[in-house]
Amino acid sequence: PITVAIIDDSLLESTENFYVNLSNLSTSLIAINDNQGTINIIDNDSDPSTIGVQFDVTSIDVNEDAGTVSLDVVLNAQVQDEFTVEYYTVDGTTIEGSDYSGVPRNTQTLTFGGTNSNTQTIVIPIIDDTLIEYTENFQVLLENISTPLLGILANDTATVN
């Protein structure tokens, strides 16, 4: 038998592999029929139902004259490879273009993993008008994560009032 020690780390990572090669037999009486073996290391740290990204705060109040609202999206694990998650806005009682500058679906992404921070910030411009109106709201949603190792967790929608 050949024994190779495997190091169990806490990084979320895709299946990795290495090769073991046989060579230089000490006899000519036998031959090596298959000189290479592949060893796959399957990560044991990934659970997309509990490990992934979500909004840090799911409801935030902002004054109309603030200019912008910032929403943090957090990753709750260390990830070796980069991945992306998309975000977009949806009107609630607001009107996109009159009350805030919306983000259309499939146009904006956040990048996590690798050398990127585990907290990424979405900044949405707020439009200050002179109308007297009730408190209005819109939502920012997360979708389309680019890796099967992680999930978008329960806090996938943030409401801005």
Separation CA 99–CA 130 (nearest Å): 11
> Residues 62, 122: contact at Cβ < 8 Å?
no
Give the C-alpha separation, 60 to 123, whole Å.
13
Q: Give pLDDT, residue 47.
A: 67
**In this structure, are residues 79 and 43 in contact, taking their beta carbons and an 8 Å threshold?**
no
Residue 8 inside a domain? The answer is no
Specify the pLDDT at position 48.
Answer: 65
The answer to whether position 25 is within a domain reads: no
Given this model, what pLDDT does residue 44 score?
73
Digits of tens for pLDDT over the chain (161 positions)?
888 898 887 776 777 889 999 999 998 899 999 999 998 887 776 666 788 999 999 999 999 999 999 999 999 988 888 999 999 999 999 999 999 999 999 999 999 998 999 999 999 999 998 888 888 999 999 999 999 888 999 999 999 99
Residue 44 lies in a domain: no
What CATH number corresponds to the domain at position 99? 2.60.40.2030
Range of the domain at 72: 52-160
Task: Provide the domain count of the chain.
Answer: 1
Give residue 148's pLDDT: 87
Give residue 45's pLDDT: 66
| Structural domain contains residue 68 | yes
Q: Which residues, at least 6 apart from 88, have a Cβ–Cβ distance to it below 8 Å?
A: 102, 103, 104, 105, 106, 107, 108, 140, 141, 143
Residue 2 is assigned to a structural domain of this protein: no
**Are 112 and 54 spatial neighbours (Cβ–Cβ below 8 Å)?**
no
Query: And the tokens for 156?
Result: 């996938």
Report the distance separating Cα 109 and Cα 95, nearest Å. Answer: 23
